[in-house]
Structure 1
Amino acid sequence: MTLRSFFAKKIPGLIALLLFGTLLSGVLMFYSQANLAAPASDVAGQFFSALTFSAGKPGFLITVSVLMAIPLLLKVPRQQFLKLGVQFAILLVLSFAAKSGLKHLTEVPRPYTYELEALGIVSSPEDFYQLDEKGKDHAVMEARQHVSEWRIQHWLGETNYSLPSGHTIFVAVCVVFWGGFFLRRRHYVPAAALIVWATGVGVSRIWLGMHWPTDLLASVGCAALLYLCVPEWQSES
């Protein structure tokens, strides 16, 4: 395969990712930061928690299973299906490794740590990250009188650093890979649905106080770079 044909096969996926990044950027222009101390309705809490669950542990496994079932429903040949599975698996492994490595390199505090500082629970976000896991959980629990339980339960589960967003890298990987899969076959409705879902996941991370807009956009860029590392093996129909 020539370099030109390799990049040509990447174009549909990159177009899908560009559409996702554009929609997400547009939404973030109007909703870039949540008021974490504001009351949260159960409807909003359930909605954003469900979106986050679909891209986190263990919910991402359900999402992966649904996406991998799509080629079967479209009656993609067995050999091509296996190649798609290998490609997607490579992309997922690369994304998880990149996410973990970059968090340790960047060490950007999560937005909710600034809320803990504002409440007088910690002296600074940096001090929060000096605590052990038990200490971090205790600090988060102290905020329960001021912050919705919908947010608290997510803060307890994720006390590591903010940049990049693992949830957003995951959905961006899904968009660039499966969005490209749909666009190649002119299945525009499922491609659009995938992009809207991914945008919703990104917004949920803002609403929960888990990430900054820059975390989300950096994750989209990271997914684009990782996608270029995945070989193109299957024959396009």
Structure 2
Amino acid sequence: MNKTVYSISAFSILLIIPPAVMLFAGWHWQPSESTESLKWLYWLTETAGLPYSLITSAVLLVLALVICQPTKANIIKWMIVIICCILVGQGIKGVVKNTFQEPRPYVVWLEENYDVSSSDFYELKRKQRVDVIKEVVKRNQQVPSWQRKHWQAETGYSFPSGHVLFAAGWALLLIGLFWQRRQYALAIVIAVWAEGIVFSRLLLGMHWPSDVIVSIIISAVLAMVACRLLQTQIRITSKE
């Protein structure tokens, strides 16, 4: 189990380092002339958001079962533990978002540049928020249409990041399971994907560095708990 904890902890730190550097450097999201070149990040971030996250989950769940090969008697238990690990993260996200009610970076940018009060923005119904974004942002040539539509699809609060909770949750859980089985290449590929999601949320104006850092920490704790439960199942099976 120590090897699992160490691998999850080590990769959590690696995921946290870039946003931590941005946080302490005082990085603040702003649109730029190079925004159009970031469209690939939009497609990447979609793998961690509905509806495509369902496909991602199915692929990663099958991968986990194929690599770890739990006994037939324990497959359902494994599926329940893994799925609950991800769903609990999303449940935490919903509670914390509604508690802290932090505006997204792009909403703060609208407030600073177009006199769109963030408090008034979040008092509007979802469709009204979409209309505000559509009307205001279409006047800015630095914000491409695909990014504006992405904002329109996600008008909720910022803290923490549901996308990062999803990606880091899957990545750290699978790293914990794969590392002890010496599936190092797979673990690294999944970690790179999760780090890509982290950057996409920051560079697309959806989250602050603190949002993704906290999301990674929550994901690490959930991954350790899930791995602990799965390790218990392995020991029980081996005794039988």
Moved more, 205-214 or 11-20: 11-20
For 1:84, the equivalent position in structure 2 comes to 78
Q: 1:38 to 1:126 in 2, by over 3 A?
A: farther
Residues 138-194 of structure 1 show CA distances to partners (whole Å, capped at 9, x for unaligned) of: 111121221222321111011111011001111121122111110110111111111
Q: Distance in 1 between matches of 2:100 and 2:16?
A: 22
**How far apart are 1:75 and its partner, in Å?**
7.2
**Code of the aligned partner of 2:60:** L
2:63 is the counterpart of 1:67? no
Q: Distance in 2 between matches of 1:121 and 1:135?
A: 16
For 2:174, the equivalent position in structure 1 comes to 178
Q: Distance in 2 between matches of 1:218 and 1:228?
A: 16
**How far apart are 1:121 and its partner, in Å?**
4.6
Which residue, out of 75, 97, 101, partners 2:95? 101
For 1:208, the equivalent position in structure 2 comes to 204
Q: Distance in 2 between matches of 1:13 and 1:175?
A: 13
Q: 1:80 to 1:33 in 2, by over 3 A?
A: farther
**Code of the aligned partner of 1:90:** C
Residues 106-152 of structure 1 show CA distances to partners (whole Å, capped at 9, x for unaligned) of: 11110000111123151x22221122222211111121221222321
Matched residue of 1:153: which SS? helix
Count matched residues: 225
For 1:111, the equivalent position in structure 2 comes to 105
Which residue, out of 138, 152, 166, partners 1:144? 138
Q: Distance in 2 between matches of 1:39 and 1:168?
A: 24
Q: Distance in 2 between matches of 1:69 and 1:21?
A: 23
For 1:4, the equivalent position in structure 2 comes to none
Q: 1:64 to 1:12 in 2, by over 3 A?
A: farther
For 2:14, the equivalent position in structure 1 comes to 23
For 2:35, the equivalent position in structure 1 comes to 40
Please provide the CA RMSD for this pair. Answer: 2.2
Q: Which runs of 5+ in 2 are unaligned?
A: none
**How far apart are 1:224 and its partner, in Å?**
2.7
Residues 3-46 of structure 1 show CA distances to partners (whole Å, capped at 9, x for unaligned) of: xxxxxx3x4444343333323333232594432254522x521x
Contact 1:167–1:201 under 8 Å retained in 2: yes
Q: Distance in 2 between matches of 1:226 and 1:71?
A: 16
TM-score, structure 2 length as denominator?
0.84
Q: 1:60 to 1:204 in 2, by over 3 A?
A: same
Q: Which runs of 5+ in 1 are unaligned?
A: 1-8
Q: Distance in 2 between matches of 1:48 and 1:15?
A: 30
Which residue, out of 43, 48, 51, partners 2:44? 51
Larger helix percent: 2
| Identity score, percent | 30
Matched residue of 1:91: which SS? helix
Q: Distance in 1 between matches of 2:48 and 2:4?
A: 19
